[in-house]
Amino acid sequence: MINGNKDHWYDGWFYDKFIAPSQDKLFEQIKNLIEPNSKVIDVGCGTGRFSFSVTDKCKYVLGVDLSSRNIDRANLTLSKYPNNKISFQHKNINDVIAENNSHYDYAVLTYVIHEVNVDERVKLLTEISMIADKIIIGDSVNLSARLEGANKQYKTKTLISDNTFQPIAGQVVARELDLITVVGKNKPLKIYELFGLVGDKIAPEYFSLIEKFSEALVLYRQRNWEKAIKNFEDALKIKPDDYPSKLYIERSQAFIKTPPPDDWDGVFVMKTK
């Protein structure tokens, strides 16, 4: 089961400012499912965005999360905007079940199930059902987890989706990396590699790399493989260890030998998580 502290690189202020807002549409859909004056336990509450959004409709909301950074951020927001209908706890859900005598009308799990081993998910949901009459699960295929897997394939440190990038485009330094479909999703997803925030001390070479890589990516998608290879090689002159450039050179060379079908749209299909 999920135990101990589980801080991801993006937890805390970054999650609160850049990731959580992209989930508002899902949160609104879940909120519409909840009956007025209900008691809700928000399992995997993150920085509390859903918990705060639903309090006007609920009697009480308990948010729990294994990330201490997320809970600290949620409690910081709560201290700024006091609300006696919400509380946040850094706890394992099993401890909550064992310690809490309260019963809830709803248990909400958004982007949580993927964190639990497949063979333990039914057990977890069964245990939650002991303290909640209804369980609402929001998108069991967590995009953040899939992007963590993509980081390994591209040998990058920080990847964000287009939904996360667009609202903050003017605040970050990033490059468009690829157009992919991840395991469990059918819709192509544009992904970006994040280098830092505008104003951070970022080495000048990264800006040159972004420019040259972007030019090469356009050529690649235009099926101009040989020119794309030359531009990716120029990107490697700027940053010799840039694995995405090496990866695109390999793809381009493969396409020169065996071109993709005429309806190829540039999407790379990821086969693993």
In angstroms, the CA 157 to CA 178 distance is 15
- Cβ of 93: how many Cβ atoms within 10 Å? 23
Q: In which residue are the tokens 């997320």 written?
A: 70
CB 154 within 8 A of CB 242: no
CB 238 within 8 A of CB 208: yes
CB 70 within 8 A of CB 64: no
Query: For the chain, how many residues are written?
Result: 273
Give the pairing type, strands 132-138 and 58-64: unpaired
Q: Which CATH class is domain 13-140?
A: alpha beta
* 125-146 per-position pLDDT tens digit: 878 888 998 888 886 445 666 6
Q: How many helices (H) and strands (E) does the chain have?
A: 11, 9
pTM: 0.59
Chain region(s) in the chain for CATH 3.40.50.150: 13-140
* 19-60 per-position pLDDT tens digit: 888 788 889 989 998 999 999 999 999 999 999 999 999 999
